[in-house]
Chain A
Amino acid sequence: MSEPPAAPRERSPRLDRRLRLAALLVTLGLVVEALSFLSVHPAAFFAFLAPGALLVAVGVVVYLWTIVSHAEFSS
């Protein structure tokens, strides 16, 4: 008699929330970065750095922190 298929592992809603937050930050940051290329102006350069690159950096850090602090994500 074959074993029943393993049930999909449950993930904590917190992990999903964090991943969603990371993805949201990265997406917003990239959109701001892309918009900053519409103009050659110091304000566009400033917008690229903050909030654009800053949002991306925070999003990446949240993502990396999430995957190293939740063993279930990578196991």
Chain B
Amino acid sequence: MISIGTLFAVAVFVTVALAALPVLRPELTRGRGGRVLAFFALFIFPALLTAGGLTVHMEQAKSTEFCLSCHLMEPYGESLWTEDASFLAASHFQNRRVAQDSACYTCHTDYTMFGDVSAKWRGLRHVWVQVLGDPPPPEEIELYSSYNNRECLHCHGGARAYVENELHAEVLGELASGELSCLECHGPVHEVADVAERERWTPAGAPAGEGIDAEGEGIDEEDEADGEGGGDE
């Protein structure tokens, strides 16, 4: 089966070959056929390939692998394996409340019309700081703005277990308006300062001390046990 990446590579190769013709033999563009060729090779194909490539990169940028490829993010990835179920990120990841291959993105995007773009814009700021700035140590990294309840309620809002929860029932309005943050009660989230000392969860069937891959092999789906702070509803 030919992958999209292979098709893209072939399309780029063909377009590069076509675009190279006017470089090597500009006289080709003097005839009608040459002008049509140049129009496709220098405008239509590059525009389509760049748009397609951007889409593929945007999709790849949603993967957990992508986020954790930065050395600075490694403790955050490690925090997803915390044994203590009261840790919010770990309980979501381990119980598959978020897709494991896009765990970071699921909670750290904006669920708005241009949320993908704004999330990637923030990501570019990360790269900018990493390359040209002075990045703080992992334990001192903070969100650019306080975490918005909208991202939690994108999944939990309207869920029976959420709206019928006695504690939630009293503050549904405040939670919806953002007056009261979900994180006031649900947490800790990552707490990476001491992540290396915390006990690590090992999925059933996995060798001791090893986690599972991004596909989640080895996770017990029935294991829905939550601590006080880690409950989803």
Contacts and interface: CB of A to CB of B under 8 A. Distances in A.
Interface string B21-63: 1110011011000010011011100110110011011001101
Nearest to B51: A53
A33 B16 CA distance: 11
Interface in A45-75: 45-46, 48-49, 52-53, 56-57, 59-60, 63-64, 67, 73-74
Interface in A33-49: 33-34, 36-37, 40-46, 48-49
B23 A24 contact: yes
Contacts of A16: 26-27
Given A31-B16, A73-B35, A23 B22 contact: yes
Interface size range of chain B in the complex: 35 or more
Given A37-B56, A63-B42, A56 B50 contact: yes
Contacts, number: 116
Contact of B46 (A9, A19, A29, A41): A29
Nearest to B47: A60
A56 B70 contact: no
B47 A45 contact: no
Contact of A46 (B22, B47, B127): B127
B43 A41 contact: no
Determine the interface band of chain A, counting residues with CB < 8 A from chain B.
35 or more
Contacts of B161: none
Given A34-B9, A34-B12, A60-B43, A42 B126 contact: yes
Contacts of A26: 19, 41-42, 46
Most buried by A among B9, B23, B131: B23
B69 A42 contact: yes
B12 A20 contact: no
A42 B26 contact: no
Interface in B115-134: 120, 123-124, 126-127, 130-131
22 contacts: A16-B27, A19-B29, A19-B38, A23-B20, A23-B41, A31-B12, A33-B12, A34-B9, A37-B56, A40-B69, A41-B69, A42-B127, A46-B124, A48-B53, A49-B124, A53-B50, A56-B46, A56-B49, A57-B50, A60-B42, A60-B47, A74-B35
